[in-house]
């Protein structure tokens, strides 16, 4: 094989076997969020680089080191979006959508691009399903967002996924804490150079450091939980109380700081230890200043992004694909030339009645057709051969119980129900 160009590092093809599963998972997410009052938004893949690089003091690797940025033919500085949130905010401000009645609840499914070192669960092009809720300062906005994510994981029956929550305070209390942390880091010799440098601009970033020595020393660092103000404390307390009431379990983790700079108060991640080093399946939090930073009126907001590839990895790891498969209600087998006309009428009626019904198109042996029905998870198989035609009946076999029932064709075509 002499391909003129091979797939780029950190990207992947999603082949039909997978796209089917992707679509099913997406459909479940879409249904849950649509039912929850969220509407879909689609934003462009490219944006002006300034949308993401808003602040010269931004300390996040995502914005500082990992963006795919280039100058286009019109001499504009453009970036492939590294995340969905900033684009959604730009869009709702630019189109005025955010000026309509609040809350504004949006979701998206989008490609993101980050120039990271590829490894299992970490790609240079990946997909995020995310949602953003604008307009509420109340902890109930976090409750709303977290409730639907949790509902989705429960619907998929995924196990061992932990919700980890933290409060990183607000503009009033965070600087007091970051100064303390800075002093702590400066006093210790064993922090790595990156932590020491980051300490100047944003000491919280040290919590992202993977160096085991830094991690160890940070275990004894002052905890943000002891330094947030009353208002942030109450917000955190109310949120956790509401989660308790909804039976959503969580772990309080003062080390969650998130990789983007725009958060305040609540930050959270849904994590799993079953998919290797890249265990964060979903991340999000509150960002009350981003809308005004991007040019809109000050509007509080909460949101999250689920990494779709990591989600699929965990579904496959826990073998939950089968649960997702939409079962075929009825598979019509054994169609012969002499029975075709009647069978197709039965098919049409079942289809009109809203059943998921398929008919055999291969003309293989009845045994092979049953094997196929099993493979596509058909609940029932409808058999109508010459013998049945002569008696004016069809057979319906329940694939789970193997019970076979007879139905009179004319009764059925005239409206008698069979399920």
The three-class DSSP label of residue 265 is strand
Residue from 49, 91, 110, 128 in contact with ligand HAM (CB under 6 A): 128
| Shortest distance in whole angstroms from residue 264 CB to ligand HAM | 11
* Residue 83 in contact with ligand HAM, rule: CB under 6 A: yes
Q: State the Cα–Cα distance between residues 344 and 286, nearest whole angstrom.
A: 55
Residue closer to ligand HAM by CB (options 79, 128) is 128
165 is a site residue for ligand HAM (CB under 6 A): no
User: Considering the rule CB under 6 A, would residue 47 count as an interface residue with ligand HAM?
Assistant: no
- Residues 85 and 290 sit within 8 Å (Cβ to Cβ): yes
Q: Which is nearer to ligand HAM, 84 or 203 (CB)?
A: 84
**Least distance in Å: CB of 307 to ligand HAM?**
2
Interacting positions 322-381 with ligand HAM (CB under 6 A): none
Q: How far is the CB of 346 from ligand HAM (least distance, A)?
A: 46
* Residue with Cβ nearer ligand HAM (206 or 342): 206
Q: Which stretch binds ligand HAM (CB under 6 A): 50-58, 120-128, 182-190, 247-255?
A: 120-128
Residue 87 interacting with ligand HAM (CB under 6 A):
no
Token pair recorded at residue 381? 């198989």
Q: Which stretch binds ligand HAM (CB under 6 A): 83-91, 151-159, 199-207, 377-385?
A: 83-91
Of 39-47, 82-90, 384-392, 404-412, which segment contacts ligand HAM by CB under 6 A? Answer: 82-90
Q: Are 249 and 269 in contact (CB under 8 A)?
A: no
Per the structure block, which two tokens stand in for 6? 């091979």
Hey, which residues between 255 and 314 contact ligand HAM (CB under 6 A)?
259-260, 280-285, 287, 303-305, 307, 309-310
Cross-strand pairs, 164: 251, 269
Q: Which of 38, 107, 108, 123 binds ligand HAM (CB under 6 A)?
A: 123
Instruction: Pick one of 84, 103, 169, 296: the residue that binds ligand HAM (CB under 6 A).
Output: 84
Place of tokens 């007091």: 176
Q: 282 vs 146, 390, 398, CA distance in Å?
A: 11, 59, 40
Task: Determine, following the binding rule CB under 6 A, whether residue 103 of this chain makes contact with ligand HAM.
Answer: no
Interacting residue with ligand HAM among 38, 52, 108, 126 (CB under 6 A): 126
Q: Are 327 and 378 in contact, with CB atoms under 8 Å apart?
A: yes
For 21-38, give the DSSP string. Answer: HHHHHHHHHHHHHHHTT-
Q: What are phi and psi of 282, to 5 degrees?
A: -145, 140
Residues linked to residue 328 through DSSP beta bridges, in sequence order: 378
Measured distance CA(33)–CA(326) in Å, rounded: 19
Nearer to ligand HAM, 43 or 85 (CB): 85
Buried residues in 107-140 as b, exposed as e (16+ CB within 10 A) = bbbbebbbbbeeeebbbbbbbbbbbbbbbbeebb
Residue 98 touches ligand HAM, criterion: CB under 6 A: no
Contact predicate 312/18, CB 8 Å:
yes
Beta bridge partners, 406, equal: 395
Q: Does 81 engage in binding with ligand HAM (CB under 6 A)?
A: no
Q: Taking a C-beta distance cutoff of 8 angstroms, is the pair 185, 195 a contact? A: yes
**Of 178 and 278, which has the nearer Cβ to ligand HAM?**
278
Where on the chain is the footprint of ligand HAM (CB under 6 A)?
83-85, 114, 116, 121-123, 126, 128, 130, 132, 259-260, 280-285, 287, 303-305, 307, 309-310
């Amino acid at each position: 094989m002499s391909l003129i160009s091979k797939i780029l590092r950190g990207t992947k093809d999603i082949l039909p076997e997978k796209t089917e599963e992707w679509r099913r998972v997406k459909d479940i997410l879409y249904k849950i969020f649509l039912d929850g009052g969220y509407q879909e938004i689609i934003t462009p893949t490219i944006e002006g680089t300034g949308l993401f690089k808003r602040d010269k003091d931004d300390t996040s690797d995502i914005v500082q080191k990992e963006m795919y940025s280039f100058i286009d033919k019109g001499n504009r500085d453009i970036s492939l979006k590294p995340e969905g949130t900033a684009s959604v905010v730009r869009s709702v401000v630019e189109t005025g959508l955010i000026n309509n009645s609040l809350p504004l609840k949006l979701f998206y499914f989008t490609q993101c691009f980050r120039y990271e070192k590829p490894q299992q669960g970490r790609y240079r092009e990946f997909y995020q399903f995310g949602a953003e809720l604008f307009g509420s300062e109340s902890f109930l906005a976090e409750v709303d967002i977290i409730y639907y994510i949790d509902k989705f994981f429960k619907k998929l029956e995924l196990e061992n996924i932990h919700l980890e929550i933290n409060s990183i305070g607000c503009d009033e209390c965070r600087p007091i804490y970051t100064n303390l942390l800075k002093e702590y880091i400066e006093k210790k010799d064993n922090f790595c150079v990156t932590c020491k440098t980051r300490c100047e601009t944003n000491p919280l970033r040290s919590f992202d450091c993977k160096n085991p020595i830094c991690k160890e020393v940070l275990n004894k660092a002052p905890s943000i939980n002891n330094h947030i103000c009353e208002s942030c404390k109450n917000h955190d307390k109310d949120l956790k109380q509401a989660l308790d009431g909804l039976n959503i379990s969580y772990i309080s983790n003062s080390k969650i700081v998130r990789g983007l700079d725009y958060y305040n108060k609540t930050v959270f991640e849904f994590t799993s230890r079953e998919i290797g080093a890249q265990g964060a399946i979903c991340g999000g939090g509150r960002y009350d200043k981003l809308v005004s930073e991007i040019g809109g009126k000050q509007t509080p907001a909460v949101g999250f992004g689920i990494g779709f590839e990591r989600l699929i990895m965990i579904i496959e790891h826990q073998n939950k694909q089968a649960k997702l498969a939409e079962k075929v209600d009825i598979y019509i087998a054994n169609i012969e030339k002499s029975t075709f006309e009647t069978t197709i009428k039965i098919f049409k009626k079942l289809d009109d009645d809203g059943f998921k019904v398929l008919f055999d198109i291969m003309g293989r042996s009845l045994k092979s057709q049953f094997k196929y029905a099993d493979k596509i998870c058909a609940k029932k198989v409808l058999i109508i051969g010459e013998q049945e035609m002569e008696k004016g009946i069809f057979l319906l076999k329940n694939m789970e119980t193997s019970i076979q029932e007879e139905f009179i064709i004319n009764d059925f075509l005239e409206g008698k129900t069979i399920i």
